[in-house]
Amino acid sequence: MTEAASEEAEERRWRWAAPAAGTALLAVTQMTATVPAGAGWLWVLYAVSSASWLLWIGISERFPRAALLPLAAASAVPAFGTGAATDGTAVIMTCITLAAFASRLEPGTVAIIALMVFDAAAIVASSLLGHRPSEAWLGALGAVVIVVLVGFTRRGHLTRVAQAERLLHQERLAHTRGVRAATLDERTRIAREIHDVVAHSLGALRVQLEVMHTLLVEEDDTEGALRSLALSRSLADQGLSDVRDAVAALREDVRALPDALNELVRTFGREHDTPAEFTMLGEHRDLPSAQTIALLRICREALTNAAKHAAGEAVSVELEYPPDEVRLHVRNPLAAAPDPGHTPGYGLTGMRERIELVDGTLVTGPDGRFWDVTARVPG
């Protein structure tokens, strides 16, 4: 339980314990009270004060501000009987109810001080009219000041508890918003994965269908068309596998990155009749599904670019596990001459956007006679 939650629970307990304790003290005080002969009206004051106290308890939860009036009356009424009472009943009742008033959050500081001054004036006036010795009413005034100070102390604690409740509410609200944002990010990521997989697979299939059409209609090359058909089937199978990987990311059961990369490189080499090598350096560490999928897609895009711009050249894929990160290198020889019919695409931009979604970095460019793609993710 957080500190805010524990203080909130403590305040709920105090909300019931304080009125119950005050009621018990008032009851004991009145049961032990003695009233001088001819001062039976003191019982009326005590009864009015007790009734006002009970009214405050009854309506304070629903009408906290309106309940302050009976609570103030419960404090002021017995103060007028101080001079006639031969015991401390009137002072004790005034102090109990005044302490309750001073510890509440609803009244302002000015209202609390005003009630204290009013009670003090009533005690002094009643004591003077009753010819009480100065020591008696000075002691009563000291008690009034002390209970107000105690009430202010409790009031300060309640203020901190109220602030803690607001903080707890803000923390819960922030947590809810964070969960909602994370869910939306996850949905966006999965949508991107499925979109990329479908677009890549359908694009490759369309190319193969055009090749088959050309081989069958224009060149009457049945054997070549069958090879293109086999490649189309392989592309369809790979597309289905990629979709399964994207859906598996929802269940956090994506294949281990080395296994997935190894299979990807072997399939690429077989389909393009190109030397392709995969190596791993360091000890494998599991990555979150988002990072695994991102590195797989970057590797696939880099291999696709290698097949476009350096067809038939050897490709190397290296997965490295240095401390605190995972690094992927894809290298292939630079094309001998640029393709004049080549139209720039969005492959590198897509790779960069993908790696940024998982707080990674991407570096691409020539390195001597090679084109190098290096992706890094925390891990």
Q: Could you read off the pLDDT of 37-47 as tens digits, one per residue?
A: 888 899 999 99
Do 167 and 259 fall into the same domain?
Answer: no
Q: What is the pLDDT of residue 374?
A: 93
Last-in-domain residue among 129, 159, 175? 175
Say if residue 335's pLDDT is above 90: no
H/E stretch holding 331: strand 325-333
139 lies in some domain = yes
Residue with the two structure tokens 């944002």: 181
Give the count of domains, the chain.
Answer: 2
Q: Residue 197 — very low, low, confident or very high, per pLDDT cuts 50/70/90?
A: low
State residue 183's pLDDT score.
60
Residue 229 included in any domain = no
In-domain check, residue 186: no
Asked whether residue 15 falls in the same domain as residue 130, the answer is: yes
Within a domain: residue 225?
no
Residue 200 has pLDDT above 90, yes or no: no
Residue at a domain's end among 126, 160, 175: 175
Determine the Cα–Cα distance for residues 70 and 171; give it in Å rounded to an integer: 37
Q: Is residue 212 part of a domain?
A: no
Q: What is the C-alpha to C-alpha distance for residues 36 and 42, in angstroms, rounded to an integer?
A: 9
DSSP codes joined into one string, 257-301: HHHHHHHHHHHHHHHHT--EEEEEES------HHHHHHHHHHHHH
Confidence at residue 341, expressed as pLDDT on a 0 to 100 scale = 44
pLDDT in tens, 268-280: 888 888 899 999 9
196 domain-assigned = no
* pTM value > 0.85: no
- Partnered with residue 374 across adjacent β-strands are 329, 363
Instruction: Write down which residue in 126, 141, 175 finishes a domain.
Output: 175
Q: Which residue segment(s) compose the domain that 110 sits in?
A: 3-175
Q: pLDDT digit string (tens) for 157-173?
A: 777 777 777 788 788 87
CB 311 within 8 A of CB 353: no
pLDDT above 70 as % of the chain:
81
pLDDT digits (tens, 9 = 90+) for 26-72: 889 888 888 888 888 999 999 999 999 999 988 988 898 898 999 99
Does residue 9 surpass a pLDDT of 70? Answer: no
* In a shared domain, residues 45 and 138: yes
Q: Is residue 211 part of a domain?
A: no
Instruction: Please say if the pLDDT value at position 331 is more than 90.
Output: yes
Q: Please report whether residue 298 resides in a domain.
A: yes
